[in-house]
Structures are given as structure tokens and as C-alpha cells.
Amino acid sequence: MLTAFAFIFVLGILIFIHELGHFLVAKKVGIKVHKFSLGFPPDIISKKVGDTTYCIGLIPLGGYVKMAGEDPNEVATGDAGEFSSKTIGQRTAVILAGPFMNYLLAIVLMIGVLYFGGRAIFDPDRIVVGSVSDDGPAIKAGLKPNDIIIAVDGQPVKSFDSLRSLISSRVEESIEFTWVSGSDTISKPIVTMAHPVPKPEGNYDTIGVIGFTQKPLRFERPSLSSAAVDGFITVHVIVRETFSFVKKVVTGKASAKMIGGPLFIAQQSGKEAEKGASNLFFFMVLLSVNLAVLNIMPIPILDGGHLVFLLIEKFKGSPVSIKARTIAQQAGLVLLLTLIIFVTYNDILRVIRGF
């Protein structure tokens, strides 16, 4: 139930903000908007206000803003309220508004995550157990929250990073852990569990885990100005890494199997929601950036494809022919549907394999 709610919440916000960008700028430049839909038909809710029908569709995997004169199969009447009647600059602004709103949303959410979530401060001299996973080796051995790990294989440990590296390198091996629980000192062997980690090539590496996190001493809230600066920088690092990943996929340096689809988003939304609001909103930051980048890709039917048509019109001096646009958009639709099928197939494999 939590997974379903988190999935609808995450996608609903991202799609609404994206389509709202198109809608607001279209209205600003005087384009008539026939329909504003959150989700795809069949419609659950539909209400007409003025010239626009506002809808919520049953299929929550996208949305759209239908503007007058936008469909290449429609015969342009020359009405001032049609999309095709506006200048190239105005049409470009309408198209870019959707991805730009996702970009802005990512910045706002990232600032909120840093400001309200704060920065975790950990004890440099002790490894205090935070959460313990329900089905991992740690809980089966009796490790509990607030326990303090003091030694591994008889050697004292204080650094969580060094402990994690040691555990990661020993897959399905027995490690002797010593920890303090209340007034008791306990020593037990714990066999690490194999955990798959995706690699850029599309296959998986395997590391050892026992299933626990480190407990922070406290959380320090930064100033709003500091959170704003760090949030802005963090989002642009994510933007850079997203473009880098797309480039690697296109050039064959990274596997397309790394791309997640609707099932992955749903599954991950639930996992992040269980960890808390900060984790869920950070996941939304990643998705919002990815949605912005995906939409400006030069694929017909996406915003980037429409920008290509406008660029051609700018240099050609006249709009791309209806026939050429129709063929390009049909090809783009086939490509997009193929991509959706492919990523859904990847998602199903992840679920089956338990990744």
C-alpha cells in the first residue's frame, strides 16, 4: 500500500509540475489550451473551466497539455490563439517550460532536503548501530539498534567506512563480530549475505552485507542560504552525471539495462518512503532531473523533438511539412514504446532476481 501511494505521489508531482510549465507559458503567450490532463485516459475526473478541460486520467504514467493548432494533422486557421500562430521564440518557451519546471522543482526539493533533513554527524570513535534490516544476517545474530560494534575478528574497530569495506570484500564468509549491547559484551560469527550491485556495463558485482546502518549522533541543520547554495550545486552535479550517463549509453560505454522503468520507480519509491521523507524527496530530485533531461532529448514526440522542428523552421524559413512531422512523430512514438517495453522488461528481471 505504501509503495502504491509513494509511486502515485512521486509521479503525480513530477508530471503535474512538468505539464504546469507548458500550461502556464502557453496561457501567458496567448495560446488556447483545450485540455490539461494529469495521467492518460480513460478519465476519472473531468471538469471544463473556460476554454480548458481539466482531467485526471486512470493511467498515472504521464500527462499532456493539448493546445490549439499543435496537432500537425489539424488545419491551421490562422487564429491568434493557435500554437502555430505564435513566434518561434514563444513556441520554444512553451516547449522548454516543462523540462525547466522539473529542473526548478529538483532545486527546490534539494534545498528542502538539505535544510529540513540536516546533515548527519556521526561519532568518530564508535560504531553505533542504527537500523537493522528485518531479514539480514545481523538481526538473526541478535544485533540491535544502539548496540556498539567494538571488534571484528578480534581486532578493534572504530571507523564505519573501514568496517563496511571489510564486510563488502567478504562475500558469504563468516566474520567474528564483537559488540556491546546494554551491559553485555557479545561475540558471534556472522556469515555475510551476497548483495548484487549494478555496474555500468549492465551486469552486477557482488558484495557482502550483514544488514545494518550506522546511527548518527545528531543532525545539524544548515542555514537557509547554505542549503540553497549546496542544493543548487548538488542538482547541477546530478544534471552533469545524468547527461554523462546518457552519453555513455548512446556510445555503448554503459548498458541500457541500467535504465529503470515504471516498476523500478514504483518499487524504489516504496523503499525510499520507508526510510523517511528526506530519502523520498531526494529520490524525487533524481527523477525530476532525469525527466527534464529525457524530455529535451531530440526524439520526435518529446519536447526535444519539437525543439528540433522549430530549429529547422528557423533556418528553413518555413515550418516542417505536415507529412514530415507526422512520419517523424510516428517514428518517435514507436521508439518511445520500444523503450518503455525494454525498461519494463528490465524491471521485471530485477524483480525476479531480487535486485
Domain ranges (residues) in the chain? 2-118+240-353, 120-219
pLDDT at 13: 93
Share of the chain above pLDDT 70, in %: 95
Of the listed ranges 56-70, 101-115, 257-271, the one predicted with least confidence: 257-271
What is the SS3 assignment for 148? strand
Q: Per residue in 202-232, is it b (16+ CB within 10 Å) or e — as a string?
A: eeeeebbbbbbebbeeeeeebeeeebbebbe
**How confident is the model at residue 332, as a pLDDT?**
82
All residues at 6 or more sequence positions from 31 whose CB lies less than 8 Å from its CB, including other chains: 67, 68, 69, 81, 82, 83, 86, 94
pLDDT tens digit sequence for 23-34: 999 999 999 999
CATH number of 120-219: 2.30.42.10
Q: Percentage of residues in the chain with pLDDT exceeding 90?
A: 53
**Mean per-residue pLDDT of the chain:** 88
Nearest to 227 by CA among 336, 312, 95, 110: 110
Mean pLDDT of 128-142: 92
In the predicted structure, residue 355 carries a pLDDT above the cut 60: no
pLDDT at 75: 65
The answer to whether the CB of 230 falls within 8 A of the CB of 113 is no
Closest by Cα among 302, 277, 313, 323 to 114:
277
User: How much is the average pLDDT of 144-165?
Assistant: 93
* 54, 127, 150, 209 from 178: Cα distances, Å: 61, 11, 6, 16
- Residue 74 pLDDT greater than 80, yes or no: no
pTM of the model: 0.84
What CA–CA distance (Å, rounded) separates 206 from 168? Answer: 8
The burial of 164, by beta-carbon neighbours within 10 Å (0-12 exposed, 13-18 middle, 19 or more buried), is given as middle
CA 117 to chain centre: 19
Grid cell 529538483 is found at 106
Q: Residue 166 is which amino acid? A: L
pLDDT in tens, 167-217: 999 999 999 999 999 999 999 999 999 988 776 666 678 899 999 999 999
Phi, then psi, of 140 in degrees rounded to 5: -70, -25
Do the bridges between strand 212-214 and strand 218-220 make them parallel or antiparallel, or are there none, so unpaired? unpaired
User: Looking at per-residue confidence, does 226 or 345 come out higher?
Assistant: 226
Q: Does residue 333 carry a pLDDT above 90? A: no
Distance of CA 287 to the CA centre of its chain: 2
Residue type (1 letter), 288 = S
Residues identified as active-site: 19
